[in-house]
């Protein structure tokens, strides 16, 4: 299943979408990837990860024209994810020494 199909499933879009709707959703997905990666660092959006969950919610909020609420509602989760990634990166660097 492609990420676009997963987003449609998450948003309960059960009808056949037009090319314009697909382009709009794809744009939301790409913007979400950039925004979330910018906040937490390198992300894996292909596996079932916390980053992917945040991306799905990001698209849902953007589609509802409530993106500013996403950042408020998920600030704690984003900060926690960022901190966890920093710790993992630090541990990986420490093992290389």
Give the model's pLDDT for residue 94: 83
Q: At what angle do helices 75-96 and 50-63 cross, to 10 degrees?
A: 150
On whether the CB atoms of residues 45 and 53 are closer than 8 A, the answer is no
Give the model's pLDDT for residue 25: 98
The whole-model pTM stands at 0.89
Give the model's pLDDT for residue 88: 85
Residue 96 has pLDDT above 90, yes or no: no
Give the model's pLDDT for residue 93: 84
Distance of alpha carbon 34 from alpha carbon 28, whole angstroms = 10
What number is the average pLDDT over the span 44-73? 96
Is residue 89 very low, low, confident or very high in pLDDT (cuts 50, 70, 90)?
confident
Which domain covers residue 70, as residue numbers?
3-96
Give the total number of structural domains in the chain.
Answer: 1
């Amino acid at each position: 299943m492609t990420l676009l199909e997963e987003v449609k499933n998450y948003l309960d879009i059960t009808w056949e979408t037009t090319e314009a709707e697909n382009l709009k959703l794809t744009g939301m997905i790409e913007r979400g990837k950039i925004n979330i990666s910018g906040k937490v660092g390198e992300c894996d959006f292909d596996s079932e990860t916390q980053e992917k969950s945040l991306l799905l919610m990001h698209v849902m909020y953007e589609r509802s024209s409530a993106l500013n609420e996403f950042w408020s509602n998920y600030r704690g989760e984003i900060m926690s994810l960022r901190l966890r990634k920093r710790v993992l990166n630090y541990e990986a660097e420490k093992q290389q020494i």
